[in-house]
Amino acid sequence: MQIIETRTVSLLAPQDVELSARLTLPSGLYQGTEERIRTDSIAGPSWVVKYIIAVTAEQLASIGPDLSSVNIDVTEFVQQGRLTICRPA
């Protein structure tokens, strides 16, 4: 059985973070979501934590026209310490 707990968090980028070759997140404070996913097995429960931010159409405008907002998994940047979690949002 899988249980998902979600809560809103603020993510701080103390400096620009290159999310992909074509998208850099400018330094600043961003609203995001922390998802805690629990999976039960015979060995017991295990948890996976993911961090997601919504990048707005305005932020995507530098990539190309007519792009709407997208949700981006930034868990690896949190784990690397390039984004810091500030609770609560």
Q: What tens digit of pLDDT does each residue of 23-50 get? A: 788 888 888 999 998 888 888 888 899 9
Cα(53)–Cα(19) distance, integer angstroms: 11
Average pLDDT over residues 14-23: 86
Q: What is the pLDDT of residue 52?
A: 94
Residue 59 predicted with pLDDT over 60? yes
* 61 φ/ψ angles, rounded to the nearest 5 degrees: -60, -30
List the domain range (segments joined by +) for residue 55: 2-86
pTM: 0.77
- Total count of domains within the chain: 1
Strand partners, 38: 3, 47
